């Protein structure tokens, strides 16, 4: 796997695919610059080598050229984060971009206009990719969030850089973290899957059963498993068309010697509201008119025991409706358990959608080994798919 550390960028122009798809407010100010900070190590290494950087990204989902989606709005923020002047080209291909790239001197940065102002980007158009490729000497992909898309700048452009393409530091870290769980993880390996539905996690479960020792199930999808086993789930979230599938998963796990841990008890509510009346009961004895919205205290303790005995931990999906304070306790308790296991030497990876939001909200971001930045790309990796953006560098 070639990374930026395998190249000396002295007097080279690096064409870098970054993910600067950052949120903007009504005044076009960046409200969260995390993604810009994430690309900083790659950019700084190239500049310190004596190279220059040509940054390309998409922003939002423009229909053609729409000023509100222009990357010119974020140029100043990029400059502030990197501490280096940032030049801007009004198009990502064509004469202006090519001239600006040609004139770029070592130590300088050029930011290109939104790639998605050209529909050829998302179409993965080869001619458009070739036009992009003219701008740089070495292609660097540092955008994990779009690595699952076969777009021109994330995948197709790589074919024009044979022997001169590599992963940026962020993307390399993402790949290594997923490998640590899926390939080289020290045993026991535990996966915690929560969130709303079984249906959205089924491919992940199928793929990881061969790689894990323990599977902890929480969140809304619990109740499909409990109902499938004959339990009473009241008005809890359930996918009635997935009951058989839930039993099949449990059978498959048993055959593969994976220990499945379902909640023992549950916090129930008489409405889907933070202000609802609440109570605690056994997971399979939820009265009619009540719904399970968080795991109960016995479950917290049991899940914590499993986590603290683990050496590799993957967490995807909250254990309850963590957006409501009264139903966030189980998710927070799990966060503490993972924090402690990590302190004891376990490797912990949090990835995919809402668990990342939960980890950030409750302050565990720096307490786990790695928080993945790529939602869809992370989920597809866990499903065992080869991401086109990654394959394009490896080929
Ligand atoms: P996902 O995107 O599949 O990871 O699902 C995350 C969502 O699942 C969050 O918005 C949670 O509020 C929701 N969730 C977690 N536990 C439950 C539950 N017991 N009942 C309903 N929704 C839940």
The pLDDT tens digits of the residues spanning 75-89 come to: 999 999 999 999 999
| Cβ-based neighbours of 184, under 8 Å, separated by 6 or more | none
User: Do residue 85 and residue 123 come from a single domain?
Assistant: yes
Show the tokens assigned to 312: 């590799």
State the CB neighbour count (10 A cutoff) for residue 188.
Answer: 16
User: What is the position in ligand 1's atom list of the atom closest to the CA of 321?
Assistant: 12
- Condensed to tens digits (0 to 9), the pLDDT of residues 330-379 reads 999 999 999 999 999 999 999 877 888 899 999 999 999 999 978 888 88
Secondary structure (DSSP) of 52-87: EEEEE---S--SSS-GGG-GGGGHHHHHHHHTS-EE
What 3-state DSSP class applies to 254?
helix
How far, in Å, is the centroid of ligand 1 from the Cα of 220?
Answer: 5
| Residue 158 CB-density burial (10 A; 0-12 exposed, 13-18 middle, 19+ buried) | buried
Tell which of 138, 172, 206 closes a domain: 172
Which pLDDT does position 354 carry in this prediction? 85
Q: Does a structural domain hold residue 346? A: yes
What strands, in cross-sheet order, belong to the sheet with 109-112? Answer: 86-89, 109-112, 52-56, 13-17, 138-141, 165-167
Show the tokens assigned to 356: 């990342």
Q: Does a structural domain hold residue 11? A: yes
User: Do residue 77 and residue 148 come from a single domain?
Assistant: yes
Q: Does a structural domain hold residue 158? A: yes
User: Do residue 22 and residue 152 come from a single domain?
Assistant: yes
Q: Does a structural domain hold residue 389? A: no
Which pLDDT does position 358 carry in this prediction? 92
What 3-state DSSP class applies to 14?
strand
Residue 24 DSSP label: B
Percent of the chain with pLDDT over 70: 100
Per-residue pLDDT at 122 exceeds 80: yes
How far, in Å, is the centroid of ligand 1 from the Cα of 197?
Answer: 7
User: Do residue 132 and residue 249 come from a single domain?
Assistant: no
Residues in the chain: 395
More confident site: 197 or 164: 164
Question: Which residues is 315 bridged to in the sheet?
Answer: 192, 350
User: Do residue 129 and residue 224 come from a single domain?
Assistant: no
Beta-strand runs (E) in 51-188: 52-56, 86-89, 109-112, 138-141, 165-167
| Residue 65 CB-density burial (10 A; 0-12 exposed, 13-18 middle, 19+ buried) | middle
More confident site: 198 or 309: 309
What 3-state DSSP class applies to 164?
coil
* pLDDT band for position 311 (cuts 50, 70, 90): very high
State the chain's mean pLDDT as an integer. 96
Q: Does a structural domain hold residue 98? A: yes
d(CA 387, CA 357): 23
User: Do residue 131 and residue 263 come from a single domain?
Assistant: no
User: Do residue 87 and residue 216 come from a single domain?
Assistant: no
- Condensed to tens digits (0 to 9), the pLDDT of residues 195-243 reads 898 888 888 998 999 999 999 999 999 999 999 999 999 999 999 999 9
Q: What is the pTM of this model?
A: 0.90
User: Do residue 192 and residue 126 come from a single domain?
Assistant: no
Residue 328: closest CA among 368, 348, 357, 288: 357
Average pLDDT of 145-169? 97
Q: Does a structural domain hold residue 391? A: no
Provide the residue range defining the domain that includes 31: 4-172
Average pLDDT of 251-278? 98
Q: Does a structural domain hold residue 245? A: yes
d(CA 380, CA 193): 15
Q: Does a structural domain hold residue 214? A: yes
d(CA 275, CA 264): 24
The Cα diameter of the chain in Å comes to 72
State the CB neighbour count (10 A cutoff) for residue 344.
Answer: 11
Residue with the nearest Cα to atom 10 of ligand 1?
321
More confident site: 309 or 201: 309
Show the tokens assigned to 160: 């024009």
Under 8 Å between Cβ of 201 and 193 = yes
Report the number of distinct structural domains present in the chain: 2
* pLDDT band for position 146 (cuts 50, 70, 90): very high
Residue 118 DSSP label: S
Ligand 1 pocket (Cβ < 6 Å) reads 195-197, 200, 219-220, 237, 292-293, 317-318, 320-321, 323, 353-354
Residue 3 DSSP label: B
Residue among 202, 321, 383 whose CB has most ligand 1 atoms within 8 A, to mutate = 321
Which pLDDT does position 300 carry in this prediction? 98
Show the tokens assigned to 141: 């992909």
Tell which of 172, 206, 232 closes a domain: 172
Question: Which residues is 267 bridged to in the sheet?
Answer: 280, 294
d(CA 209, CA 384): 11
User: What is the position in ligand 1's atom list of the atom closest to the CA of 218?
Assistant: 16
Per-residue pLDDT at 261 exceeds 90: yes
**What is the torsional sign of CA 278, 280, 282, 285?**
negative
Window from 17-31, 86-100, 370-384 with minimum mean pLDDT? 370-384
User: Do residue 202 and residue 283 come from a single domain?
Assistant: yes
CATH code of residue 92 = 3.40.50.1260
Which pLDDT does position 374 carry in this prediction? 81
Tell which of 117, 150, 172 closes a domain: 172
User: Do residue 338 and residue 233 come from a single domain?
Assistant: yes
Average pLDDT of 33-48? 96
Average pLDDT of 179-205? 92
User: Do residue 135 and residue 97 come from a single domain?
Assistant: yes
Show the tokens assigned to 349: 């990876």
């Amino acid at each position: 796997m070639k990374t930026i550390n395998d190249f000396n960028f002295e007097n080279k122009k690096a064409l870098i695919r970054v993910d600067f798809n950052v949120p903007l407010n009504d005044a076009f100010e960046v409200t969260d610059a995390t993604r810009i900070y994430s690309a900083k190590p790659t950019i700084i290494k190239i500049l310190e080598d004596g190279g220059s950087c040509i940054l390309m990204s998409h922003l939002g989902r423009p229909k053609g050229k729409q000023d509100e989606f222009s990357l010119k709005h974020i140029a100043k923020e990029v400059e502030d984060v990197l501490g280096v002047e940032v030049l801007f080209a009004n198009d990502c291909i064509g004469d202006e971009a090519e001239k600006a790239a040609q004139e770029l001197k070592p130590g300088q940065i050029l930011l290109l206009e939104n790639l998605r102002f050209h529909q050829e980007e998302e179409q993965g158009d080869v001619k458009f990719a070739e036009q992009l490729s003219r701008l740089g000497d070495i292609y660097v992909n540092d955008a994990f969030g779009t690595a699952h898309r076969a777009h021109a700048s994330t995948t197709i452009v790589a074919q024009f850089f044979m022997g001169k393409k590599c992963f940026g530091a962020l993307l390399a870290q993402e790949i290594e973290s997923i490998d640590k769980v899926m390939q080289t993880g020290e045993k026991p390996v535990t996966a915690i899957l929560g969130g709303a539905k079984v249906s959205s996690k089924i491919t992940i479960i199928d793929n990881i059963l061969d790689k894990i020792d323990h599977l902890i199930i929480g969140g809304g999808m619990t109740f499909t498993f409990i109902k499938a086993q004959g339990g009473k789930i009241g008005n809890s979230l359930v996918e009635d068309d997935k009951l058989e599938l839930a039993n099949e998963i449990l059978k498959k796990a048993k055959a593969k010697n994976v220990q499945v841990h379902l909640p023992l008890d549950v916090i129930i509510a008489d409405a889907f509201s933070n202000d609802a009346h609440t109570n605690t009961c056994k997971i399979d004895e939820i009265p009619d008119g009540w719904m399970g919205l968080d795991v109960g205290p016995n479950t917290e303790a049991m899940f914590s025991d499993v986590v603290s005995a683990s050496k590799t931990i993957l967490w995807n999906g909250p254990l309850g409706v963590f957006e409501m304070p009264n139903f966030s306790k189980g998710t927070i308790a799990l966060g503490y358990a993972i924090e402690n296991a990590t302190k004891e030497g376990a490797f912990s990876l949090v990835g995919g959608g809402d668990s990342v939001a939960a980890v950030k909200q409750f302050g565990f971001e720096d307490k786990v080994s790695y928080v993945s930045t790529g939602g869809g790309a992370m989920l597809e990796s866990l499903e065992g798919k080869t991401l086109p953006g990654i394959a394009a560098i490896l080929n």
